[in-house]
A and B are shown apart, each in its own frame.
Chain A
Amino acid sequence: MSRRPGAIALVRAANAVFCFIVSVYCLLAYSPFAYAQFIKPDTVPAITNFVAVSPWLFVAIQLATILTIMPQLRGAPGHRRARPYLAAGLAAAAVVFLRPPLDHVGHTPAAFAVGLLALVSPIWLAAIDHAAWPAVNIRTADAGRALTTCVVAAAVVWAAYAGAAPMRLRQMIGVELAPSALASAATVSLILHLFVFAAVFLVIVGAIRLSLSFGRGSVATYWLLVACLAVCSAAVVRLLICGAIAFTGRAAWVWSGALGVTVAAAWADLARLRSQRWSDVLQTSAPPPGRATAPGTHRAIDSIDLFCAPMAATRVVSGVFLVAMPIAAYALVEMVRHLDWNFLLQKLSVLVIWMATFACAGAAIRERRRRASGIWLAAIPVLVFGLSHASRLLNIRSELDRYAALDPSFRLIRDAQSGHSSATAEYYRLLRANTLLAPRDIHPPDVDFVRPLGRAPVPPPNIFLIVVDSMRRDYLSPYNAEASFTPAIARLAADSFVFRRAFTRYSGTSLAVPSIWGGGMVPHALEQPAFPGRNALQKLLDANGYRRIMDMDSVVEDLMPRDARLEELDRGKRTTELDLCATLDELEQTLLQVRDQPVFFYSLPQNVHIAIATRRAVPQGERYPAPFYDRVASSLHRIDGCLGGFLTFLRREDLFDNSIVIVTSDHGDSLGEEGRWGHAYFMYPEVMNIPLIVRLPPWLNARVRTDLDAAVFSTDITPTLYALLGYVPQDLGPLFGRPIFAARNDDTPLRRGGPFLLASSYGAVYGVVRQNGRRMHVVDAVDGQEYAFDLSGPPEAAAVTPAMSSANRRVIAEQIAALASRYRYHR
């Protein structure tokens, strides 16, 4: 062979990576959840950019691929597979240019079909290469060397992550571990890593022993390992990726299975191509590079060597890679952690490091002259097994929980370990059945706080409702004296009501925003059917002739019509481009023109959203002390200045004293607490506690009373506006909001005793707030965890007792049933 298989392997790898990305994009588009969360609001610009350049990438890769199969197209072995591939490739290129599929698939079944079709190419090319390139001679793998490889790989992976743990501990918010506890947890981590790699060794040695039953056992070993790769890849995709984006059901299994088969096919293709260099060496009777020569065996390569060929290098290079592995592991985690989704990217990066370490360790370890005995081979896994079970006797569960925040590799194993009883599994099924419902299954009635709804008995004041996406309350001066970078909000708060125990009902925008407008919890569905009938806030505005001056972000545009009362701001901007400063500038211009009717303003600025704030550099000269995340703090400082300017404008234009100003957020955000970033499925205090600052006109201020220490919810905003306008909104029960102000002469208690349901917007994670907002209990059916917090003072994790768990699970089930009954769906 005069062609260079190494270069061809590079083209194959590029093609496979491109096809995988296309397939994953199509999956994201097909999944209602991922489409609404990532694609529609353009949360990750890299995705949009990829779609734009994908036709050109496709053509470039196809051209390179065609060049690599030219001999086959001319009639060399494999031509029967190569020629149809060329025809199909040209047809696909024509389609891609005439009607780029990624631009058009949208959220349709076609996305699923295109996602599967994209996987055909790597499988087809693998078939061509297996016909075109000769197979190398394979000999039976040495189980002793496999054992050493696994033990070394486990130790290197463990050291790569455990070594960085002390450094992460210094940087991590909310994690404290004494050196002795850190050492104990790291030791348990080592044992668990040995356990996992011992299982890998058992798979390999099992494949070796099983293949002895077949003729050409060494070949069978290799193909068994490839089959194991397909199964493991499918399992990882289904459990990790599909699980993280709430993509479930038969379609998830089909896609995972297809991706697993494609990964294995692409891997086998690369192995075939890269092994050709050894084929040449073998033909000249030299041993494979870096391999010892056992008598009579050097004309063949080890089946494990062949399996590792796609990532293998020479012994020296592999050794260097092994030494550099901690740096690669650390860098990968740092690259993805800010934009991670429920630790998914970190876990995938860990799996890449595991594979690379295994391949490098395999290449770096010499074959022994004497083969290890079966007893010795079994002794090590048995010892590891014993150690792992002995480590369970150590009573360091909380230390291990905290250590998991420092060591992503340990977190991956620990999360995989978490199992649950059949009763818990049944309960999780109930939660999942009531989560991310299909709109067609919901038949919601209208929601009315006042019926019939006439004009308000008082002249309607202007209302400015500013809901800053992902704004945390402890980043605001009124809630945290150390947050000195929001002076304008501090000045507003001095003249306002600052609610200390405010909660969002949902930890994600897609449900938090409808719940604010509707004044209550909504069906757990990404598309809200018949929402105008439930849009209590819009009904109030319409009944009183309000002019709605607002952004139509990707959530509200599905909730309300663009009617004559709407004055849309930020026209043509994508949701991720909504900047409070620009919006307020435009609002000021609009307000100067609208003087004849009351005004309602709403905006959902994205300035402090993690996906936006991380792209903005902190201006020179600005410094934010730990634990504040400087990019978010700086963005907040900027919009604080703009808000201050706008309030000055209102005063200057004599609008301030006839305006209700509400500053709040749809939810908070995790900014590094215990390694968490963003909000995803997280229902932690920093996500569920929100700021709620309400400034009333003096004439209203004199008429009302409130309780700033009472638990209040974002769903209370709409009924509160009803009450402030002089209506008496009816109590619709604990799933709905109620006014947080009462008339001064009304002695009705403002506190509500009952437990209140909270939910994630994206998955089966539910919580309960009790004791006037002093306790929060969360049941996470996505990660199979249950946790609790004492919110009496600064949030603290609380132990989950069986009694608490039982009582709170019951409340969650009851309130979910009440929600189903209210909105007429049965699961």
Chain B
Amino acid sequence: MTRLRRIVDRAWPAALLLVFLATFRRTNVDAPAEPAAAGCDPVRAATLAALEQCLALDSRNVEVLTAIGDIHRSSGAADRAEAMYRRALAIDPHDGEVRLRVAGLLLDHGEFERARLEAEAALDSEPGSRVAEQLIERASRESDR
């Protein structure tokens, strides 16, 4: 008993030190990747469902918002498309690509003055853009009628 006590008496600091050192570092366990995450490239995630899944993971993804807007627009849901584009512009007001899309939608709705303003803003972001210049010209022409 005395011998055991002597061993414990001498060994406890080293044992405790080992426990200290062994538990000092904090290791983050790598979690497996969520399958949806890898497909959040708008080019790859071409379907609306896939894009909406991406948006659920990253609600500030301008490219995904724009791609969803494009799908709505091609299916004739102009209001939904504009809502998506507006969300994208709320995140990045300078994005000329999105402004061009909004200008196109407004032009289709007959809102020529607003369309012209959007196209001019797009031209500021994309100097020399023929698309923007054509939209401005068309909006001005329609507005003059």
Contact = CB atoms under 8 A, between A and B. Distances in A.
B17 interface: yes
B17 A199 contact: yes
A744 to B, nearest CB: 5
Interface residues of B, number: 49
A704 B129 CA distance: 9
Contacts of B61: 771, 774
Interface string B67-97: 0000000000000000000000001101111
Contact of A792 (B62, B126, B130): B62
A753 B63 contact: yes
Given A417-B24, A771-B63, A806 B37 contact: yes
B3 interface: no
A744 B63 CA distance: 24
Contact of B127 (A424, A706, A804, A806): A706
Given A374-B12, A381-B16, A423-B30, A199 B21 contact: yes
A707 interface: yes
Interface in A351-392: 374, 378, 381-382, 385, 389, 392
Interface stretch (B38-46, B101-109, B110-118, B137-145): B38-46
Contacts of A198: 20
Contacts of B10: 209-210, 212-213
Interface residues of A, number: 55
A404 to B, nearest CB: 13
A805 B29 CA distance: 12
A206 B17 contact: yes
B14 A206 contact: yes
B26 to A, nearest CB: 5
Nearest to B44: A753
Contact of A705 (B13, B25, B129): B129
Contact of A417 (B12, B26, B130): B26
B2 interface: no
B32 A806 contact: yes
B33 A807 contact: yes
A802 B14 contact: no
B28 A803 contact: no
Interface string A417-432: 1111101100000000
B34 A803 contact: yes
B27 A790 contact: no
Given A195-B20, A378-B16, A709-B94, A420 B27 contact: yes
A209 B23 CA distance: 23
B44 to A, nearest CB: 10
B30 A747 contact: no
B26 A378 contact: no
A790 B24 contact: no
A417 B25 contact: yes
B92 A753 contact: no
B125 A709 contact: yes
Contact of B95 (A209, A497, A709): A709
B26 A803 contact: no
B37 A792 contact: no
Interface in A417-453: 417-421, 423-424
A706 B97 CA distance: 12
A689 interface: no
Given A417-B24, A771-B61, A804 B126 contact: no
9 contacts: A203-B17, A209-B9, A209-B10, A374-B9, A374-B12, A424-B28, A707-B126, A801-B34, A802-B34
Given A199-B24, A771-B63, A806-B33, 4 more contacts: A418-B25, A418-B26, A803-B34, A807-B33
